[in-house]
Amino acid sequence: MDMAGNLVILGGDLLALLVMFQVTDLLGGFTRPQVLVMFGLSAVSFGLADLAVGNIERIRVYVRTGTLDTVLVRPLGVLGQLLAVDFSIRRLSRVLYATAILAYALSAAGVMWTPAKVLLLAVTLPAGALFFSAIFVATATVAFWWIESGELGNIITYGGRDFTSYPLSIFGDWFRRMFGFGLGLGFVAYYPALALLGLPDPLGLPAWTGWVAFLVAPAAAAVAALIWRTGVRHYRSTGS
């Protein structure tokens, strides 16, 4: 996807958010600049993950055509090879656009910067990218069992991106518990944003939650790695 396409997609997501603020001053108890901080954190994290591992979605094509067989016989890591095949630097444009949105949001929200908050931001973005990368890999691995799993993967991956772009407080209790806490999506942008903004959590979690949210990402990556290894072992060559 070219730079213009990335701008259109990200712009559409941003426009959908801004339209909501045409009918309300607060969304889930937060102002527009505050929600934009959450949106920006999510967008940058997702953009970095898409740049690094987004092409893993093509694994279902490799499984269907048998192309994966040629990768497996090489004495190199399977995942690394697949990620290198269709790597596109053009996806960097999404990261740049998202970074501009985040920079504006942080300024408009009046974040009071301290060394600790600078460190938090520096940790939150790669942690969020790692979390989304884990989702990309885990959902793509389903193709080892179900080749036509692309739509399911898109629902989880891109649905997760949309979920993290908004405050947890706008979602229903069961939905919030399942996706925000069960899958850990609430720790990608929402809680780090609260810590950066110095705001209390309307849901009642302590203020330090945003400072440890990044610990969820390595756990997600470990689960994704386990799923990936299981999928590779399960794979049967088209010639077998």
Bridge partners (DSSP) of residue 30 are 27
User: Can you give the pTM of this predicted structure?
Assistant: 0.91
pLDDT digits (tens), the chain, 240 positions: 456 677 788 888 899 999 999 999 999 999 999 999 999 999 999 999 999 988 888 888 777 777 777 777 766 677 877 877 777 777 888 899 999 999 999 999 999 999 999 999 999 999 999 999 999 999 988 888 876 656 777 788 889 999 999 999 999 999 999 999 999 999 999 999 999 999 999 999 998 999 888 899 999 999 999 998 898 887 765 544
Q: Supply angle C-alpha 44, 200, 41, rounded to 5.
A: 0
